Amino acid sequence: MTADARFDVTTTTTCGYCGVGCRLEAHAVGDHIVAVSPAADGPANKGHTCVKGRFAHQFTRSRDRLTAPLVRENGELRLASWDEALDRITFDLTRIKAEHGPDAIAGLASARATNEDGWAMQRVFRAAIGTNNIDNCSRVCHSPTSYGLRKSVGLSGCSGSFDDIEQSEVLIVIGANPTQAHPVVGARMKQAALNGTKIITVDPRRTELADVGALHCSLRPGTNAAFLNGIAHVLIRDGLVDEAFVRDRVEGFTALADLVQFVTPEVVEEITGVPAADLVQVAHLWGEARTGSIAWGLGVTEQRYGSECVQMICNLALLTGKIGRPGCTLMPLRGQNNVQGVSDIGALPDCYSTYRPVGDESVATLFEATWGVPLRRERGLSLPEMLDAAIAGKLKALWICGYDIGQSDPDTAKVEAALANLELLIVQDIFENETSREAHVMLPAASFLEKTGTFTNAERRIQLVHAAAAPPGAAKTDLEIFQLVSARLGHELPWSGPEDVMLEIGALTPKFAGVTYERIGRGGLQWPVAPDGTDSPRLYEQSFALPGGKAQLAAIPYKPPGDEASERYPLILVTGRRLEHYNVGTMTRRTANLELLPGEWLEIHPDDATAHGVADGQQVEVESRNGRIQVTARLTERIAPGHVFTAFHFPETRTNLLIGQSADINTSCPEYKVVAVSVTPARVGSGAARTHAVVA
């Protein structure tokens, strides 16, 4: 309830946009949310929010919201009752399973929905359908972070908290643009810089944070490994290693020292373009500081060797003992509100919750005992494998919850071919999107402001989400939808609400053992959570979560990225995001943020613009080996010559037509960050991009 007379009800909840996990107060009048303000006691936001959390809530009332199921009939989607839609799904899934086996069916869980929604979906796939074909959007985002952290230090999550930002003497921000993508964390970093934290930014673009930093290193896209190994070289060469820490707590020093001995600052300058003296300065700032943290983002992960680079980031913390103490944190800036959580709870083809392999007999039998059905021991298909299987005609049905692969996945033409080849495509979302163009059934879901559950932010902090309004029309929560379908498939999901789901997660997941809604309360709980409710704001204080308790240094050489500039494609395109819009933009394009930023553009350095005959504001054609789009050019000196930048928030731009199949070697995370392109003035009527209306 609320003390403010302007509102009927005020509900404390957690923001559903990015992984910062700001706590919000949502104010409703009648059925409508009319305002959102920051919760003063939010552990991550401490009374702040950004333009999305605070203002981008009008989408909840958009006329475009899905308010009833849709089913395809004679080529068209038409309104249907829940019974009709569920009958169609049950009939088709049962038929496909009988004809082709359970592995002809696959699912994608949402990084935007709650832990409880994700848990329900993976249970439907594993227990009701009988396949491990379940994946989520971390595949294209921070899966390399998860892989790298698990190899180097053991657990797939931030080693500390955002509170370590202010306690860091030095903060390296590599391949992340927090003032745009994690604005509240970006603001905390800026504030820390003003209070003395030395920020080192490592990014081909001069990000806003670079303006308050001690040093900006503008490297060539795709050369992080050379940079990181070069720092390790200087740390070892100049006696900046914490020898006691390395001796007692770390393995693999000799192999790393042997590998990096020839990676001199001069070699690094040659590969990355970062002046040798700057590299030495970074190593000394880092090595000589008492405390220091490293934050990273997609400029590290969305690369061919992204997972290896995460291991190399860990090397720098381990060599200098900057982990497991205040102000010493490995801080991956996880993207979506619950991309950490949806992976933690096991919406992945190879693991149950907290990354326990599906082939682990003791884990599988525990799940079998609770769910009462036999479970598969072989891993399922990852997202790219699902698309290949659909094109090959082996995958017949795909159920996608809150993930618009038609806009966000690489190689749009390939995604469209895969979707078009399915016998059953279920899209469960709050809006129609690019993926749903091919849907056979659409299920209308409740948004984060209309449901209860939990999200896990980028600090491993599980926080409560509370419904602040009712879902529109006949829309249902994702959890309710999974319960309805599962029951029809003959496997009841025996919960009376999301709180019961969390109790099941805790019972089957030792690292969540003590999690209850009551204990989560207003402050959240950072996993692992002991049975008595004690949580873990800081990992690795005494030992690492690897056999023997020791961390692993990785000795891995630099290798060039998957794509490189050529005479035909002389510029390197980097893609990313902008402050005002969120990923595929279904939500932010239906808010006043559209007025702040109504369309896409290509950032190009004035020298390149001159060389390629492009003027500011001109429509240009961008072509890669994979495809061609049209977009407006804007000249800016924030981008280095030789590189261009655009985002992917507008479906009509079709940015991802340009992205090919190059991906991280260990996790298949696409190389969205390094694509060789040509940029030329658009020929009138060349029709590279399909346009369609975006209704606010």
Q: How far is the CB of 683 from ligand SF4 (least distance, A)?
A: 39
Residues numbered 282-321 forming contacts with ligand MGD, rule: CB under 6 A: 297-299, 302
Query: Using CB distances below 5 to 8 A depending on partner kind, what does residue 202 bind out of ligand MGD, Mo ion, ligand SF4, none?
Result: ligand MGD
Q: How far is the CB of 478 from ligand MGD (least distance, A)?
A: 5
CA separation (Å) from 639 to 133, 473, 497, 670, 672?
40, 46, 49, 22, 17
Rule CB under 6 A: is residue 472 a binding residue for ligand MGD? no
Rule CB under 6 A: is residue 15 a binding residue for ligand SF4? yes
Closest CA to 96 of 381, 400, 385, 396: 396
The CA-to-CA distance between both ends of the chain, in Å, stands at 31
> What 3-state DSSP class applies to 165?
helix
* Residues near ligand MGD (CB under 6 A), total: 61
Single out the residue of 404, 480, 603, 623 in contact with ligand MGD (rule: CB under 6 A).
404
Q: What is the rounded CA–CA span in Å between residue 672 and residue 139?
A: 12
Q: Is the peptide bond before 349 cis (omega within 30 degrees of 0)?
A: no
Rule CB under 6 A: is residue 45 a binding residue for ligand SF4? yes
Which single residue brings its beta carbon nearest to Mo ion?
335
**Contact footprint for Mo ion (CB under 5 A):** 141, 335
CA separation (Å) from 369 to 281, 365, 373, 507, 508?
57, 6, 8, 12, 10
Closest CA to 440 of 105, 6, 33, 69: 69
Question: Which region among 13-21, 313-321, 373-381, 432-440 touches ligand SF4 (by CB under 6 A)?
Answer: 13-21
One character per residue 412-431, x = contact with ligand MGD (rule: CB under 6 A)? ----------------xxxx
Which single residue brings its beta carbon nearest to ligand SF4?
53
> What tokens appear for 646 in the block?
């655009």
- Nearer Cβ to ligand SF4 (158/389): 158
Question: Which region among 215-223, 241-249, 486-494, 510-518 touches ligand MGD (by CB under 6 A)?
Answer: 215-223
Query: Using CB distances below 5 to 8 A depending on partner kind, what does residue 181 bind out of ligand MGD, Mo ion, ligand SF4, none?
Result: ligand MGD
Tokens 């899934």 -> residue: 93
Rule CB under 6 A: is residue 18 a binding residue for ligand SF4? yes
Secondary structure (DSSP) of 657-678? GS--S-B-TTT--B-TT-EEEE
Amino acid at 352: Y
Rule CB under 6 A: is residue 184 a binding residue for ligand SF4? yes
Strands 250-251 and 441-444: unpaired
Rule CB under 6 A: is residue 21 a binding residue for ligand SF4? yes
- Nearer Cβ to ligand SF4 (52/249): 52
Q: What is the rounded CA–CA span in Å between residue 453 and residue 13?
A: 10
Question: Which region among 189-197, 455-463, 465-473, 651-659 touches ligand MGD (by CB under 6 A)?
Answer: 651-659
Burial string for 90-107 (b: 16+ CB within 10 Å, else e) reads bebbeebbeebebbbbbb
**What stretches of 503-649 adopt beta strand conformation (E)?**
525-526, 551-552, 571-576, 601-604, 619-624, 628-635, 643-647
Single out the residue of 586, 630, 662, 668 in contact with ligand MGD (rule: CB under 6 A).
586
> What 3-state DSSP class applies to 85?
helix
3-state secondary structure 233-271: HHHHHCCCCCHHHHHHHEECHHHHHHHHCCCCHHHHHHH
Q: What is the rounded CA–CA span in Å between residue 532 and residue 272?
A: 49
Question: Helices marked H in 335-411 — which ranges?
Answer: 339-344, 361-371, 383-391, 405-408
Question: Which region among 49-57, 340-348, 604-612, 619-627 touches ligand SF4 (by CB under 6 A)?
Answer: 49-57
Rule CB under 6 A: is residue 297 a binding residue for ligand SF4? no
Rule CB under 6 A: is residue 581 a binding residue for ligand SF4? no
Q: How far is the CB of 116 from ligand MGD (least distance, A)?
A: 11
Query: Using CB distances below 5 to 8 A depending on partner kind, what does residue 207 bind out of ligand MGD, Mo ion, ligand SF4, none?
Result: ligand MGD
- Nearer Cβ to Mo ion (147/558): 147
User: In the sheet where 424-429 sits, what is the strand order?
Assistant: 76-79, 70-73, 441-444, 424-429, 397-401, 105-109, 134-136
Question: Which region among 68-76, 310-318, 523-531, 653-661 touches ligand MGD (by CB under 6 A)?
Answer: 653-661
Single out the residue of 132, 167, 229, 408 in contact with ligand MGD (rule: CB under 6 A).
408
Q: What is the rounded CA–CA span in Å between residue 643 and residue 675?
A: 10
Asked if 402 and 445 touch (Cβ cutoff 8 Å), the reply is yes
- Nearer Cβ to Mo ion (131/583): 583
- Nearer Cβ to Mo ion (50/556): 50
List 604's β-bridge partners, or say none: 635, 644
Single out the residue of 7, 10, 11, 17 in contact with ligand SF4 (rule: CB under 6 A).
17
Q: How far is the CB of 339 from Mo ion (least distance, A)?
A: 6
Long-range contacts from 61-64, C-beta under 8 angstroms, 24+ separation: 61/32, 61/33, 61/472, 62/431, 62/590, 63/695, 64/431, 64/432, 64/590, 64/695
Question: Which region among 60-68, 399-407, 462-470, 612-620 touches ligand MGD (by CB under 6 A)?
Answer: 399-407
Residues numbered 106-125 forming contacts with ligand MGD, rule: CB under 6 A: 110-113
One character per residue 65-104, x = contact with ligand MGD (rule: CB under 6 A)? ----------------------------------------
Asked if 658 and 627 touch (Cβ cutoff 8 Å), the reply is yes
Q: What is the rounded CA–CA span in Å between residue 508 and residue 502?
A: 10
List residues near ligand SF4 by CB under 6 A: 15, 17-18, 20-22, 45, 49-50, 52-53, 182-184
List residues near ligand MGD by CB under 6 A: 18, 110-113, 137, 140-141, 174-177, 180-182, 202-205, 207, 219, 221-222, 224, 297-299, 302, 333, 335-336, 401-404, 408, 428-431, 433, 445, 447-448, 478, 574-577, 579, 581-584, 586, 648, 655-656, 659, 672-673
